[in-house]
Structure 1
Amino acid sequence: MIIDSAVAIAQRRVGRRGEQYFAGRTGAVIERSIIAFKSSNWIVVLTGFVEPVLFLFAFGYGIGELIGTVAPGQGPEVTYAMYIAPGLLATSAMNGAIYDSTWNVFFKIKHGRLYQSMLATSLGTLDVALGEIIWALFRGLIYSIGFMAIVTPLGLVTSWWAIAAIPAAVIIAFAFSAVGMAITSYMKTYQQMDLINVVLLPMFLFSGSFYPITVFPEWIQAVIQALPLWHAIELVRGLMLGNITAGLLTHVLYFMVMILIGTALTTKRLTALFMK
């Protein structure tokens, strides 16, 4: 029955545009990830959730007592904890997606040889790419929901628009996971993989998570405004603080472009690696 099903799927793909890339079985890849996740180490996931919470209490309530209020750029001044909470939520979405779409994918490519096995079936490279990317964004979503569940009872959410921060976190995680997997597919050594952290840490520190970027010269501000995490923080901060402007759509468009480019590059790279 399994063989017949695989043959039937392959036959239905014949003549379709992109038949060599997409079989419509992305769900099978996600299902495999869910099964593997059930037997994985939950401590790894838990640490990714705890990290932004520790930052919130250490900086928001520790250093925040010394700082007082901060002007978020639009709207009235807010407490320092309220200012950094959106940045930490956006960072949680990014980290959750990046962890799964980089190191986990690298192991599967270089050591697990998982994708070779998948692509020996009726799955196409786009099925694999979408399945892995969607699964990675799911981890980012979990981190974001967990963090929101912490900050809401603390009184750091003052607008009903904050509900939209969760869908925004999904878009952010989707974009980072797509680009993360695309970049990882070009990595060949663990030393090269370390470059990912070299990029992520400065982006986290300088993208407006803890202070307005207006403290920098204009040319540095322009560089920061090109970074994806800055767009993520501005999008989530605008929603959580209720500062709704048309400019938020610009951030959404930025991530849509990231998603399209990342998914296309990942599919192309998987095809080049495993469909020779």
Structure 2
Amino acid sequence: MLKSLELSQKIAQRHWSVYKKDLLANLLPTVSDPIFFILTFGLGLGTYIQKIDEVNYINYVAPGLVVSAALYTSFFEMSYNTFIRYKYEKIYQAILTTPISSFEIALGEYIWVITKGCILSLIVSFIFYFIKIIPLKLLLAAPFLGALTAISCGSLAFISSSILTNINQFQTIFALIVNPLFFFSGIFFPVDDMPNWLNFFLQASPVYHCVQISQSLSWKIINTEEILYHIFCILLFSGIFVPISFFLFKKKMINS
């Protein structure tokens, strides 16, 4: 197992070597999006919405946007990027000619996306902490939240990458999965009193649970039981979909 982990780390190191060549260009879109959302919704819409749950609107949306950074980087990384490595660059096929197995490739992808989720959530939270719209405890917890978001949402993206046959099909995934996960997560408005069918979706959404934890560490009254419940739901989700993604990726590599 230690040998597999060491080989998987080589995959993550390979991705970092490529990523850092255009570091600013790679970081900027994911980091800038939450900042523009803060400017648009927090400062713009916030002038018309005084408070939600006795919290200024800009402070209300900020914790969820820390999570959104990991959401989008995990989906892009585990969908488009893994598909390109397989379909066009043939990187995985080349790696399989070495002692590295498909399991170790997949594990390396998860190590890489979790690392990205941690770093990007931390960067966004640091900016928000600097402008005093989130507390220190959320800044310190940001890497943990980024990791939870990255592994849970990344598993969905990795499954789609293993199933889809055309890169244009990812537009459907983003339209029908990523957008609902983002907009109906509680980032921009309370979702506690939504219809029953939507509540079922929320309980199955890892983004919703990550946002709830983030808000609890920012402006909600901390309830340890609720936080543990949300963590449990995220881990349960990951425990189901991560193994499925490993299985489908291995099957894809066998058939390639």
**How does 1:193-204 map onto structure 2 within 5 Å?**
193-198=170-175, 199-204=177-182
In the alignment, what sits opposite 1:137? 114
Find the counterpart in structure 1 of residue 10 from structure 2: 28
Instruction: Confirm whether residue 240 of structure 1 aligns to residue 218 of structure 2.
Output: yes
Q: In the aligned structure 1, how far is the partner of 2:35 from the partner of 2:138?
A: 21
Structure 1 counterpart of 2:15, one-letter code: S
Measured in 2, the distance between the counterparts of 1:244 and 1:97 equals 27
Residues 1:206 and 2:206 aligned together: no
State the secondary structure of the residue aligned to 1:240: coil
The one-letter code of the counterpart of 2:41 is F
Q: Which has the higher helix share?
A: 2
1:62 aligns with 2:44: yes
Q: What CA deviation, in whole Å up to 9, does each residue of 1:97-150 have, x standing for no partner?
A: 111111000111111111111111111222111111221222222221111111
Q: CA deviation at 1:23?
A: 6.9
Measured at CA, do residues 88 and 161 of structure 1 come closer, stay the same or move farther in structure 2, by a change above 3 Å?
Answer: closer
Which aligned pairs between 1:80-91 and structure 2 lie closer than 5 A?
80-91=57-68
Paired amino acid for 1:165: A
Q: TM-score, normalised by structure 2?
A: 0.89
Q: 1:39 to 1:231 in 2, by over 3 A?
A: same
Work out whether residues 63 and 134 of structure 2, in 8 Å CA contact, stay in contact via their aligned partners in 1. Answer: no
CA contact (8 A) 2:31 2:69 kept: yes
| Residues 179, 258 of structure 1: 8 Å contact kept | no
CA distance in 2, matches of 1:165, 1:189: 34
Q: CA deviation at 1:157?
A: 2.0
| 1:259 equivalenced with 2:241 (yes/no) | no
Taking the aligned partners of 2:62 and 2:227, their CA distance within structure 1 comes to: 18
Q: For the residues of structure 1 that align with 2:195 and 2:5, how far apart are their CA atoms? A: 50
Residue by residue over 1:55-86, the C-alpha shift from the partner in whole angstroms, topping out at 9 and shown as x without a partner, is 01111111112111111xxxxx2111111011
Deviations 1:156-184 (A, max 9, x none): 12463552233122221122223321221
Aligned residue number for residue 16 of structure 1: none
The within-5 A match list for 1:112-191 is 112-158=89-135, 160=137, 162-191=139-168
Aligned to 2:254: 275
Give, in whole Å, the separation in 2 of the partners of 1:214 and 1:258. 20
In the TM superposition, 1:91-102 aligns within 5 A as: 91-102=68-79
Q: 1:178 is matched by which residue type in structure 2?
A: S
| Residues 131, 248 of structure 1: alpha-carbon distance in 2 compared, 3 angstrom cutoff | same
Query: TM-score of the superposition, structure 1-length normalised?
Result: 0.83
| 1:23–1:70 distance in 2 versus 1, CA, 3 Å | closer
For residues 257 and 222 of structure 1, do their structure 2 counterparts lie closer, same or farther at Cα, with a shift above 3 Å needed? Answer: closer
Instruction: Note the residue ranges of structure 2 that are not aligned, 5 or more in a row.
Output: none
Q: 1:174 to 1:23 in 2, by over 3 A?
A: closer
Cα distance in 1 for residues equivalent to 2:192 and 2:6: 47
Matched, 1:47 2:24: no
Deviation at 1:265, TM superposition (A): 2.0
Residues of 2 paired with 1:136 and 1:103: CA distance? 13
What is the Cα-based RMSD across aligned positions, in Å? Answer: 2.3
Which is greater in Rg? 1
Distance, in Å, in 2 between the alignment partners of 1:241 and 1:233 is 12
Matches of 2:246 and 2:197 in 1, distance apart?
35
Which whole-Å CA distance do the structure 2 matches of 1:127 and 1:241 have between them?
40
CA contact (8 A) 1:29 1:128 kept: yes
Structure 1 unaligned spans of 5+: 1-11, 14-21, 72-76
Give yes or no for contact 1:137–1:174 (8 Å, CA) kept in 2.
yes
Give the distance between the partners of 1:219 and 1:24, measured in 2 at CA.
Answer: 44
- Say which is worse superposed, 149-158 or 230-239, in terms of deviation: 149-158
Three-state SS of the structure 2 residue aligned to 1:275 is: helix
